[in-house]
Chain A
């Protein structure tokens, strides 16, 4: 069975066709403003190139940075009604606190706080104020709001109040999209609420975008189901992506890392993905990117949810080098490398020019960098290598040499020997690793919960069973499930040997 993977990036739309473990074809096209035509072009080029029968395609998996970019660029966002259940607690830090003002202007519809919420041990703090929720719903409906985000204190542990509020609001606001924070975020009310509100602000864009993907598929004559990739490198059906667009936020780098793992056959390695402006460094364990444990800033908003742990350093193929070699970056000519770089007849010394002068890669007209002093070239190359070595070392979880997977269009900047790495591995199709990562994605289930009065073993066992149940519900085949991430942490100041357990299980898509 063949699968198509598509990565819709800010500049390029890449597509690959894979069959089992073989890459049958790969194409790179420009991303278009409407998304639709870029995907359509990529699909038809890929089908032409490979001569693949449309009926032989079992699934299409799309990774997109479209939703992240919408937040960062403050475009196509809709106004949200934020409902927080937590009074009498938390009153003086209302929703949208500490948001950038330009984003507040785009997203803030209304903010309501009502009584309710739970303790860490499942007791209600106070009764849920159902009357206040109904009032809030009426006011949101009167203001014409279409999208609501509901957050309740300790809802990742006890979600009853969020669900009840959803019912009340759905009755008062027929047709509104409702996001519940416990389905998205972790413990940390403000950060989880921020995730829920961002998700709510992307509802219309998500529907439009997913519909466009579906249309591109139909126009190409493909009838297979299609999926979107999530931040953790697994998939969700298109209908689910419409509801949870934030789960696509960091899927680009994740897909690159997953693709690199697949193409190399390595499950544990550090991946360095060198683009035009930055190098993204991430760590693969069991074939998946390690997750970030701390708050992640998105468009100026603090969030805490499932995100890969990435280090971005200002080194890419377009990074500007001062003529004396003293400074490397952080400025970059980015995608304008082909007009600004010396080897392309431009006037800016870039990292690519240095690599060309050193004979690492053959691009443009190499006679245009002949004048660069060999000493300058060697020193700059070494310093760029050191930047990568430093970044890699920083991302390591334990001492010892790791294998480094070099991917991305600028991966020629990575030297063949990097300090602290046993080996630098370059793979075929590395420039479309992200589309490959999309094509091979699996289904997953995750649990992040606090357990009291259970032994460590019991707590982990319970969490694992719940996570497996969720993976099956997400479409994983029984028998293919495996734990890819497990972490537990004792908690101070809580009675009953409280322990937080996070566990993630993945499996192949059930046929």
Chain B
């Protein structure tokens, strides 16, 4: 167990944005919220998952909903804690720690905010190692763990507990309907996990990896070194392409932002093009028409100069970007993992293709 230091918050924001793979929402408001709490003297503890007792109960907390609403109703630690307390009341048991479902994007911060107001430690783990658009796209679902109960809380006095759902799809439908009614943003506490389950099925050490990744990028930036290169070293990634955004097409369907972007090569990649398809997050990448990388590997577009992650909502013609791939967690690369989060789960009729052959299969 160690304390998360004030200076690590900005690094976490930078690192979590990169792991967001183009989605996951911007962590900025969450970061400011936590910095304010830190300025008041609050500190959050980070706990290695191996330190959990088998029968400890861990709260998996997230914010769900529209990033746009999140820009008006700002992140709030107390609201996140309400969902956790609703779940405790329902279970008649107390949690001993909190963790996030996805370390990519804004939700990397949600357990830290809840930890800040409840005093509970944050488990250094998540269930994606990145960001994904749908509820069943996580390592707990891959392991067939139950997905309910689920609690949802809003800023008023509304609390909902979904005691049981027929399937992950039903859980997704129910919680989206509820969320829309609550103003399209709400705090959730997902199905509770025992210490044994977290140790067996969560992806370990992702929060500290996100911090380390952000630290490297910020260090390189301050030293006028190449922040993209620094990110690749820190996350054991590969540079796929350097160029500029030449086209972006987007459409919102069924609550997702879908589309493609085309990057035209510059420098060593001059004359070539790289296309990337996204559903909230980047899912498949083609170099000159040939698929070279697919989800669950993380496909990230980084600002070539700053190393800052570029979200699918903020892609724009002319941006100088480096397309990089970061390796997905091994659990996502198993046949069962691929079935949940591989390219076919995003409507692309192709097998999983990776640039990390030496590590996988």
Contact = CB atoms under 8 A, between A and B. Distances in A.
Contact of A398 (B32, B72, B314, B317): B317
Given A91-B78, A399-B246, A490-B252, A120 B183 contact: yes
Interface stretch (B61-69, B209-217, B233-241, B325-333): B61-69
Given A120-B183, A188-B71, A94 B318 contact: no
Contact of A92 (B76, B244, B314): B76
Given A91-B78, A93-B75, A399-B246, A494 B318 contact: no
Interface in A290-323: 293-294
A320 B355 CA distance: 45
Contacts of A93: 29, 32-33, 36, 74-76
Interface stretch (A82-90, A171-179, A365-373, A408-416): A82-90
B72 A189 contact: yes
Interface in B260-316: 264, 280, 313-314, 316
Interface in B26-85: 29, 32-33, 35-37, 65-69, 71-79
A229 to B, nearest CB: 27
B250 interface: yes
Nearest to B259: A490
Contact of A125 (B68, B71, B155, B250): B155
B314 A294 contact: yes
A154 B72 contact: yes
B96 interface: no
B311 to A, nearest CB: 11
A498 B320 CA distance: 30
B321 to A, nearest CB: 11
Contacts, number: 118
B4 interface: no
B316 A293 contact: yes
Contacts of B183: 119-120, 123, 125
Contact of A490 (B33, B71, B73, B250): B250
Of listed B67, B68, B314, residue having the most chain A CB within 10 A: B68
Of listed B37, B76, B264, residue having the most chain A CB within 10 A: B76
A94 B156 contact: no
A255 B257 CA distance: 37
B180 interface: yes
Contacts of B32: 93, 97-98, 190
A328 B330 CA distance: 47
Contacts of A497: 252
B255 interface: yes
A395 interface: yes
B208 interface: no
Nearest to A390: B320
A56 to B, nearest CB: 45
A22 interface: no
B318 A92 contact: no
Contact of A187 (B72, B280, B314): B72
Given A187-B72, A189-B71, A190-B74, A491 B66 contact: yes
B245 to A, nearest CB: 11
Given A92-B75, A187-B68, A187-B72, A489 B250 contact: yes
B318 A395 contact: yes
B84 to A, nearest CB: 16
A492 B35 contact: no
B322 to A, nearest CB: 15
Chain B interface size, as a band, is 35 or more
A152 to B, nearest CB: 9
B29 A493 contact: no
A301 to B, nearest CB: 12
Interface in B191-237: none
A472 interface: no
Contacts of B78: 91-92
Contacts of B76: 89-93
Contacts of A493: 65-69, 179, 184, 255
Contacts of A500: 68
Nearest to A302: B28
B35 A125 contact: no
B72 A120 contact: yes
Interface string A91-126: 111100110000000000000000001011001011
Contacts of A489: 250
A508 interface: no
B251 interface: yes
A359 interface: no
A396 B317 contact: yes
A195 interface: no
A454 to B, nearest CB: 14
Interface of B: 29, 32-33, 35-37, 65-69, 71-79, 155-156, 179-180, 183-184, 244, 246, 250-252, 255-257, 264, 280, 313-314, 316-318, 320
What are the 6 A-B residue pairs with the smallest beta carbon separation, nearest first? A490-B252, A493-B66, A90-B74, A89-B73, A492-B257, A89-B155
Given A399-B264, A489-B250, 17 more contacts: A92-B37, A120-B69, A125-B73, A126-B156, A153-B72, A153-B73, A189-B74, A397-B318, A491-B252, A492-B252, A493-B184, A493-B255, A494-B69, A494-B180, A495-B180, A498-B252, A500-B68
